Amino acid sequence: MNLTKNDKPASILVVDDELSVRDSLTKWFTEDGYKADAASDATEALKKLKPGKFDIIFLDIKLPGMDGMELQHRIKSVDPNATIIMITAYASVDTAVKSLKEGAYDYVTKPVDPDYLSHLVSNVIKQRRLASENIQLREQIQELYEIDQIIGESPAMLKVFDLIKTVAPTDTTVMIKGESGTGKELIARAIHSNSPRRFFPIITVNCGGLTEGLTESEFFGHEKGAFTGAQYRRKGKFEMANGGTIFLDEVGNIDPKSQTDLLRVIETKQFTRVGGDEIITVDFRLICATNRDLELAVKEGKFREDLYYRLNVFSISIPPLRERRSDIPLLCNYFLKKLAAGINKPVTGFSSEAMEQLKAYPWPGNVREMRNAIERAVVVAKGSAITVEDLPIPPSSKAVPEDQSLESVERVHIKSILDQMGWNITRSAEILGIDRATLYHKIEKYGLRK
Amino acid sequence: MILYILPLRFQDNALLVDLSSTLSEVFKLPVSILQRTLPLDEGYDPVRNQFNSSWILSRLLKLTPEESCKIIGVTEVDLYVPVLTFVFGEAQVEGQVAVVSSYRLRDELYGLPKNPERLKERLEKEAIHELGHTFGLIHCRDPECVMHSYTYAEEIDFKSKNFCTSCAALLKSKKNKFNHMI
């Protein structure tokens, strides 16, 4: 939580006469994404101080010249809003209490436990942010994040974009339906990134990969010793998603017991870790995805009806690639540009035959399959354009013609076999299981040419 | 660019070989294990019974064979920086050197049975994390990103060995920037 208002990194000043303390603390804070500066004494610290310049000031109680307590007063007179944390070399309760009474936020004793330091700073930042958070300011930030990574101009995809924009700013549960590889996770991330929860994490759970015993622990975490192998207390995904979004991929695959658990946590926003009794309350937005027909699963008694209605509040269906063929050239060029740049290879386009093949292929694995195919093609391509030979997809024989009549399929298949056999009529006829005369007849009938 | 691993009082050669191949895979760079000796005695604090990681970094800087390389020291000793009770590792942000310790990553330190596989995973994550700093990456808020900072050994198990989308993009741009400079 290293954000202050406007998402600028918090600024921290370390005032300590020991070089090693200044160096190690500024380095630690820099690694944490904060803007850190240091001063070795009160004079240097006051020179650097300006109202609003530092969010947090770590101040050594023992300083040469003006001591930390005196400096604390001076700092407060320049910047009353700065949060001051005293550093002491020993646990002196008297001095610490005195500094707290004078307005210090807290004190730390050297050497500091890193976990304590992390939590202390993150709590200060969180408090400062909450205090200064301006809802009106946030509403002005209407930029659309990540949505530009979803490519498509087909009417079906434009409808999907509209749905994302409509539902993103709300807290509504979203169900994303689509075949494998259509980019359901990308849609979930776009919704999260355009929601007021975007400053908090989106946590993905692949429910398809969870066994019955594992789901509860994965969702809700477990206490140490809760079961064999639970050697540590572990946070669950719902706890990790607190404040943000939890994305349950392949939600149709969860077992009946976990369906009940899921229903409960959606309704109450509360749960206990496995083996624990502490009730944990979480604030999350739920997005689910499935490639199964959940309505059918409900009818077959494999998926709880009440859970289905809780998940299916706002539904977005992503069309498979074969139903939005007009997007294929756009997607191919997008992936080519991105992937070629990634490996610094000057591949800039597709041969017309390659593009025809890409447009005709049925893409059963959808966009994911296309991305992988183009990635491989970019790697093996020898010239500036990707050719049919570079593509790892089957030749056009397996492509689905626009016209799927038996005649059309036969025409494409015969042409493909002839091409593969170098128009050797005897061999082609053998493979096709017809005699040479019939093959000649079909070549003539379909007007096939080399 | 090449990544060097320098064993510093580190006995488990098999673990180093595994680490070497993981780092090579993650950073897509050649990795080599340096066969050099760096005495650590001067960095030892007898009162704390720990070794000063900042001191080790300053010594590693003197060892860097060439500009276009990064070195990560891998050690079994317990590390500290003066103001903190301990560190798992330390790195020069956007620099050339890093150090990582397996000392507090071992289950047996917490009274648990030895778990070599878990130690290997944790060491890999922390080494990737520290090297990430040398490429200019800072701590990430994504709890599953390897650049997320955890201060308990068991919490390291929460995160993956991977960079999140933002950190991966930043790493890529930093690597490209570096390649243009040399």
Q: Do A113 and B85 touch (CB under 8 A)?
A: yes
* Residue A159 banded pLDDT, cuts 50, 70, 90: very high
For residue B126, give both structure tokens: 């922390």
> Judged by CB atoms within 8 Å, which residues 355-384 of A form the interface with B?
none
3-class SS at B84? strand
> Judged by CB atoms within 8 Å, which residues 32-61 of B form the interface with A?
48, 54
Is B179 a residue whose pLDDT tops 90?
no
> Judged by CB atoms within 8 Å, which residues 70-109 of B form the interface with A?
80-87, 90-91, 93, 107
Nearest 5°: the CA angle B9, B12, B17 is 110
Q: Do A21 and B83 touch (CB under 8 A)?
A: yes
Report the alpha-carbon distance of residue A290 to residue B2 in Å, rounded: 43
Which of 3.40.390.10, 3.60.20.10, 3.40.50.2000, 3.40.190.10 is the CATH number of B2-181?
3.40.390.10
For A19-73, the pLDDT digits (tens) are 888 988 998 888 888 889 999 999 999 999 988 889 999 998 888 888 788 888 8
How are beta strands A174-177 and A314-317 bridged, if at all? parallel
For A117-143, the pLDDT digits (tens) are 888 998 888 888 777 665 434 443 433
pTM of the model: 0.49
Alpha carbon of A121: minimum distance to chain B alpha carbons (Å): 13
Q: Do A240 and B143 touch (CB under 8 A)?
A: yes
For A268-299, the pLDDT digits (tens) are 999 998 888 888 899 999 999 998 889 999 99
B144: contact with A, CB 8 A cutoff: yes
Q: Do A234 and B138 touch (CB under 8 A)?
A: no
Report the alpha-carbon distance of residue A15 to residue A26 in Å, rounded: 10
Nearest 5°: the CA angle A187, A188, A191 is 85
Q: Give the active site residue among B117, B130, B154, B155.
A: B130
- Residues of A whose CB is below 8 A from B139: 2, 31-33
For A292-305, the pLDDT digits (tens) are 889 999 999 999 99
Q: Do B93 and A20 touch (CB under 8 A)?
A: no
What is the pLDDT of chain A when averaged over all its residues? 84
Contact of A214 with A402, CB cutoff 8 Å: no
Report the alpha-carbon distance of residue A120 to residue A123 in Å, rounded: 5
Q: Do A24 and B54 touch (CB under 8 A)?
A: yes
Q: Helices in A343-435 by DSSP H: which ranges? A: 352-360, 366-380, 406-420, 425-432
Query: What's residue A115's pLDDT?
Result: 81
Is A75 a residue whose pLDDT tops 80?
yes
* Complete domains list, chain A, with CATH: 5-135 (3.40.50.2300), 151-317 (3.40.50.300), 322-398 (1.10.8.60), 406-446 (1.10.10)
Cis geometry, peptide bond prior to residue A169 (ω within 30 degrees of 0): no
> Judged by CB atoms within 8 Å, which residues 26-85 of A form the interface with B?
27-28, 30-33
Residue in A closest to B55 by C-alpha: A20
- Residues of B whose CB is below 8 A from A232: 154, 157
For A373-405, the pLDDT digits (tens) are 999 999 999 989 999 989 988 765 444 555 667
Q: What pairs with residue A14 in β-bridges? A: A38, A58
B14: contact with A, CB 8 A cutoff: no
Task: Please name the residues in contact with A120: beta carbons below 8 A apart, sequence gap of 6 or more.
Answer: A85, A106, A108
Q: Is B90 a catalytic residue?
A: no
For residue B95, the tally of other CB atoms under 10 A from its CB is: 16
CB-closest option in A24, A115, A203 to B83: A24
Burial of A93 (0-12, 13-18, 19+ CB in 10 A): exposed
